[in-house]
Amino acid sequence: MSFVLRGATIVDGTNSPGYQADVLVENDRIAKIGEIAAQEGVEEIDLTGLVLAPGFIDVHTHFDAQVFWDSQFTPSCWHGVTTVVQGNCGFGIAPMRPEDRFAITDTLARVEGMSLDTLEAGITWNFTTFPEYMEQIDRAPKMLNLATFVGHTPIRMYVLGADDSATREATPEEIAKMAELVGEAMDSGAIGFSTSQAPSHVGTKALPVSSRLASHEEVEALIKVVADKGRGVIEMTYGPEYPLVEAARISKKYGVRMTWGSLLTGLFGERGTAVGMLDASTDVGGDVWPQVSTRYITTQFHLRDSLLFWCPLPAFQEVLAAPDDKRQDLYRDPAWRDRAREEAYSGRYNPAFHELKKYSYYVEETTKHEDIKGKDLAELADERGVDLFDLILDIGLEENLETRFGVIIDNNDPVELEALLTDDRTLWGAHDAGAHVDTISDSCYTSHVLGRFVRDEKMMKLEYAVYRMTGHPADFFGFSDRGVIKEGNVADLVAFNPDTVAALEKQRVWDFPADGDRIVVHSRGIEDVWVNGELIRRDGVQIEDATPGVLVK
């Protein structure tokens, strides 16, 4: 199968200036770039007025379970993404013993915001080991290319058992067994090892996700396995004992490439703090690339069980541990409220989250509070002469805990955000496609950047933005024949209209197994997309049954 693409401006993913040329694709490869004569049997495709770029590579996704029921990897496939990297933050569903399946799906439900019913209906459990899982996802029909980390949490659950893995450190023998399993996963094609130390990651039975119980010795022993392989990278999600400089130290000690997440404006302090952290890590050395998000971190929570950063507070752990029908009683109990309010305002339990009033809260989805939708709740609390914390609880209680509150958490300082996004020491990532599906949808970041930051705000040049979403991440992972438009490379391509490209409004849909709901965002201006030389989107319409994606090892 051959076709020639004509009339587009080629932005090739290297940050070089765009240029006009024809591109000949033969089978799954870019065969020729330049002036190409019409030939019999070669389809002509006119892309006049569009930009032709390499397909985007989303380095931070959580499609580990979704891959079983959504061959398209929605919503990523609507935004010009052609390769997704899953298994981030130490999560994944392999290796997994049958008796621990509930523990991992319950953990994913709590951490990734999918319904437990969706996961139970959607995952086909015909694997136990990581290599068996790799075989399954290799065989599964895929619209996009998929690469995967092996996650610390499932490895730990497999060796210690689900209960022990969430409550204790491992013995030297158990660490050795885990190291063996990480090695086996690498040999079966994992692109690296991931771990989470984030205090916000609370799993089954409201206990910390198991990777958080690991000693430094364990974390380093597992990282060393990847280092000793001489290929692959480490992904580490922030924890108080693993600041960016510590990641840099580990990277240097073992000579291993790492990415660390996430460096967001406001998360670690006032303007300048995030860039200061980058500088400090550069001083340490190593090969560590902190992930930055291109989106203002706007998320959602509701008081039934999606408590977000209130999770680590003891008072809210009590709520999560209580049966569903007892939660409203706790929220109404004045003694509980006094305790919870004090905890929320103190910032004691999660130094990364400072205090409650730092954030901007509003009602985002409601059937009962339309009159106050979108209004800043701190202002409303002042008007009503009540405390913000109590106002949020009361609004939720009046609507049977159904109210969905929006909250702008971080990464909304435009000055520092620009500094981070245009600093070549960072890796654009942290958009969490496939996770937190009931509260966020930042997987649209590619169309968001091209529309808002490139065209509307002129924060950066188009060539630079494309480079940061294609050639740069390809280089980071060593995807040597993807991410750049050049002869011989794989034909992962996106044609978009630079004048119209944009991420559209959030929508809640009920399209997951067992009627699971989620928030999705569609795109405008992402016209044509090819994966391995095969069309998956034409004139802005998805070709739903196209499955040219491969497992990238």
Q: Which of residues 429-468 bind Zn ion (CB under 5 A)?
A: 432
DSSP 8-state secondary structure symbol assigned to residue 139: H
* CA 512 – CA 118 distance, rounded (Å): 6
Distance between CA atoms of residues 423 and 472, nearest Å:
12
Amino acid making up residue 22: D
Strand ranges for 334-393 from DSSP E: 360-365
Of the pair 85, 449, the CB lying nearest Zn ion is at: 85
Is 50 or 111 the residue whose CB approaches Zn ion more closely? Answer: 111
Least Cβ distance, residue 382 to Zn ion (angstroms): 35
Q: Note whether 93 and 108 are within 8 A (CB).
A: yes
CB of 106 to Zn ion, least distance (A): 18
**Minimal distance, residue 344 CB to Zn ion, in Å:** 24
Q: Residue 61 CB, nearest distance to Zn ion (Å)? A: 8
- Asked if 89 touches Zn ion (CB under 5 A), the answer is yes
Six token digits for residue 6: 């004509």
- Count Cβ neighbours within 10 Å for each residue of 486-519 and write b for 16 or more, e otherwise: eeebbbbbbbbbbebbbbeebeeeeebbeebebb
The answer to whether 108 contacts Zn ion (rule: CB under 5 A) is no
Nearest to Zn ion of 62, 522 (CB atom):
62
Closest to Zn ion by CB, 259 or 532: 259
Tell me the site size for Zn ion, rule CB under 5 A: 3
How many whole angstroms separate alpha carbon 59 and alpha carbon 51? 22
Question: In whole angstroms, how close is the CB of 481 to Zn ion at the nearest point?
Answer: 27
Based on its alpha-carbon atoms, the radius of gyration of the chain, rounded to whole angstroms, reads 23
* CB-nearer residue toward Zn ion: 244 or 536: 244
**Contact track, Zn ion, 6-35, x by CB under 5 A:** ------------------------------
156, 170 contact by CB (below 8 A): yes
**Site string (395-434) toward Zn ion, x via CB under 5 A:** -------------------------------------x--
Both tokens assigned to 454: 């490139």
Q: How far is the CB of 211 from Zn ion (least distance, A)?
A: 12
Structure tokens at 461: 């040049």
**Which one of the spans 87-95, 125-133, 382-390, 419-427 is the region binding Zn ion (CB under 5 A)?**
87-95
Site map 495..534 versus Zn ion, x via CB under 5 A: ----------------------------------------
Stretch that binds Zn ion, among 82-90, 110-118, 420-428, 478-486 (CB under 5 A): 82-90
Pick the closer one to Zn ion by CB: 439 or 532.
439
- Report the residue number, 88 or 446, with the smaller CB distance to Zn ion: 88
Nearer CB in complex with Zn ion: 28/432: 432
CB of 257 to Zn ion, least distance (A): 18
Stretch that binds Zn ion, among 27-35, 48-56, 85-93, 391-399 (CB under 5 A): 85-93
End-to-end CA distance of the chain: 25
Choice between 74 and 489, CB closer to Zn ion = 74
Cα–Cα distance, 380 to 372 (Å, whole number): 9
Partner residues linked to 21 by β-bridges: none
Listed in sequence order, the residues at least 6 apart from 379 whose beta carbon sits closer than 8 Å to its beta carbon are: none
Please say which residue, 328 or 350, places its beta carbon nearer to Zn ion: 350
> Which one of 89-97, 111-119, 226-234, 525-533 is the stretch in contact with Zn ion (CB under 5 A)?
89-97
Closest approach, Cβ 262 to Zn ion, in A, equals 8
Residue 62: burial class (beta carbons within 10 Å; 0-12, 13-18, 19+)? buried
**Residue numbers 171-200 binding Zn ion by CB under 5 A:** none
| Residue of 226, 232, 128, 134 whose CA lies nearest to 179 | 226
Q: Which is nearer to Zn ion, 92 or 451 (CB)?
A: 92
Quote the least distance from Cβ 92 to Zn ion, whole Å. 11
Cis peptide before 262 (omega within 30 of 0): yes
DSSP state letter for 197: -
Report the alpha-carbon distance of residue 431 to residue 450 in Å, rounded.
Answer: 15
Secondary structure letter of residue 294 according to DSSP: S
Minimum Å gap between C-beta 119 and Zn ion is 16
Q: What's the CA gap between 268 and 354, in Å, rounded? A: 9
| Short-list 185, 173, 162, 184, CA closest to 98 | 162
Q: How far is the CB of 431 from Zn ion (least distance, A)?
A: 9
Instruction: Give the angle subtended at the CA of 249 by the CAs of 245 and 252, to the nearest 5°.
Output: 135
User: Binding Zn ion by CB under 5 A: which of 88, 188, 195, 447?
Assistant: 88
Which range binds Zn ion by CB under 5 A, 80-88, 102-110, 120-128, 472-480? 80-88
Shortest reach from residue 209's CB to Zn ion, in Å = 11
Instruction: Name the residue number minimizing CB distance to Zn ion.
Output: 89
Residue 421 Cβ, how far from Zn ion at the closest point, in Å? 19
Least Cα distance to 317 among 332, 339, 293 occurs for 339
CB nearer Zn ion, residue 61 or residue 403: 61
Which segment (88-96, 134-142, 262-270, 283-291) binds Zn ion by CB under 5 A? 88-96
Which amino acid is located at 171 in the chain?
T
- Cα angle 195, 167, 234 (rounded to 5 degrees) comes to 10
Q: Indicate the residue among 9 and 306 with the shorter CB distance to Zn ion.
A: 306
Q: Which residue has the tokens 């929570």?
A: 301
Residue 403 tokens, joined: 């109210």
Q: Which residues bind Zn ion (CB under 5 A)?
A: 88-89, 432
